[in-house]
Amino acid sequence: MSSELTYAVFGSGSWATAIVKMICENNSQIGWYVRKQQIVDHIISEEHNPSYLSSVELDTNKLHLNTDINKVAEGADVLIFAIPSAFIESELQKLTTDISSKIIISAVKGIIPESGLLVGEHIHKNYGVDLNNVVVLSGPCHAEEVALERLSYLTIACADLDIASVIAEQFSSNYIKTNTNDDVLGAEYAAMLKNIYAIAAGMAHGLGYGDNFQSVLMSSATREMKRFIKKVHKMKRNINETVYLGDLLVTCYSLFSRNRMFGNMIGKGYTVKSAQMEMSMIAEGFYATKSAYQINKSKEKPAQTPIIDTVYEILYLHKNPKKAFKKLTEKLG
C-alpha cells in the first residue's frame, strides 16, 4: 500500500474542519468538498471556516476547495466523509464519478436513515466499494479539542490492516495519537451508540440526577453497548479499548458534546423540536436512536437495551422524561 495517496474531505462542519486540520499536518494537497460557495469564498479569503471551529487557521495553499462533489471525488484516492448521517445520502446521490476503486473513510458517527445501514455498508452496497477499502475513523477525539491541539486519540479501523496503518500515519501528529483495529463494524456501531448514551447522560443531568447515578448509567451503557454490538456483529473484541469505552466516556461527559447538550435540554423540559431548533449543530444521536432501536427489535432474540429503549420512548413516543427515567432506574445497577 503506497503512502503517496491523495486525500479529499467531504463536509464543512466542525468534525470535517478538524479532519482538514489534522490531514494538513502531513499532506501538501487536499481536496475539500464544501456545499456552499459563500463558505468556500470565506475560507479562501479569511483562512478559516466562518461557521465552525473559526479559531482554526487553515493553510489555503494546501486546500483545493470546490462545491462540485464529483470534481473533488475524481481528484483523490482516499475520500473522507464527514457529513451528518441525516444528509449524507442526498450528497452521495450527486455522485456520477465512479468511486468503486477508492478508499472510503467514514467519519460519520451514525446510520444512514434512508437505508438503515452504516455508512461503510451503504457505500459498499450502493457504490461498489470493496469492504476491505472501507475505513472507519473513531475514538475519543472531539473536534473542539483538535482545534486547540489538545492531545487526542484516533482509531483507524479497516479489515486490511496495511491500509489502516497508512491512513494512521497520515493522521498522526504531536497532538494526535493513532492506533489501528480490524473491527470495522464494531467501531462504527460504537460510534453510533455512544451518541445515544450521551443523550441519556444529558437527560439525566437535565432531570437533576447526580454523579452517582451517572456512574451507574455509564457502566450500564458500556455493558449494553457490548451486548448490542455482539448481537449485530459477533467477533472477539475488548469493549474497554479507547475506540469503544474511551469514545463513549468523552461523548457522555464532555461539555463539548452536542448529544449530551441535546439530552440536557430535553431533560430540562424542551420539546424535541425546540431543542433541535435552538442547537446550531446536528445531534447525531437523535437519528441513531431510531435506527438502533429498530435494528435491535428486528433480531429474533433482541439484546437487552433498556437505555436505548428509554431514549427512544422519550424522543419518538413522546413519553415523559421524568417518568421514563424513574422506570429506567429500576432496571439499572
Catalytic site positions: 194
The closest alpha carbon to 81, from 90, 92, 71, belongs to 92
DSSP per-residue string spanning 231-275: HHS-----TTSIIIIIHHHHHHH-TT-HHHHHHHHHHTT--HHHH
- With helix as H, strand as E and coil as C, how does 29-85 read? CEEEECCCHHHHHHHHHHCCCCCCCCCCCCCCCCEEEECCHHHHHHCCCEEEECCCH
Question: Which DSSP state fits 140?
Answer: S
Q: Are strands 134-138 and 152-158 parallel, antiparallel or unpaired?
A: antiparallel
Q: Are strands 30-33 and 103-106 parallel, antiparallel or unpaired?
A: unpaired
Is the sign of the CA dihedral 152, 290, 100, 235 positive or negative?
positive
**Cell numbers given for 284:** 447525531
Query: Whole-angstrom Cα distance, residue 153 to residue 229?
Result: 22
Tell me how crowded residue 9 is: count the other CB atoms within 10 A of its CB: 31
CB 225 within 8 A of CB 217: no
Query: Whole-angstrom Cα distance, residue 230 to residue 18?
Result: 31
∠ at Cα 258 (256, 262), nearest 5°?
A: 135
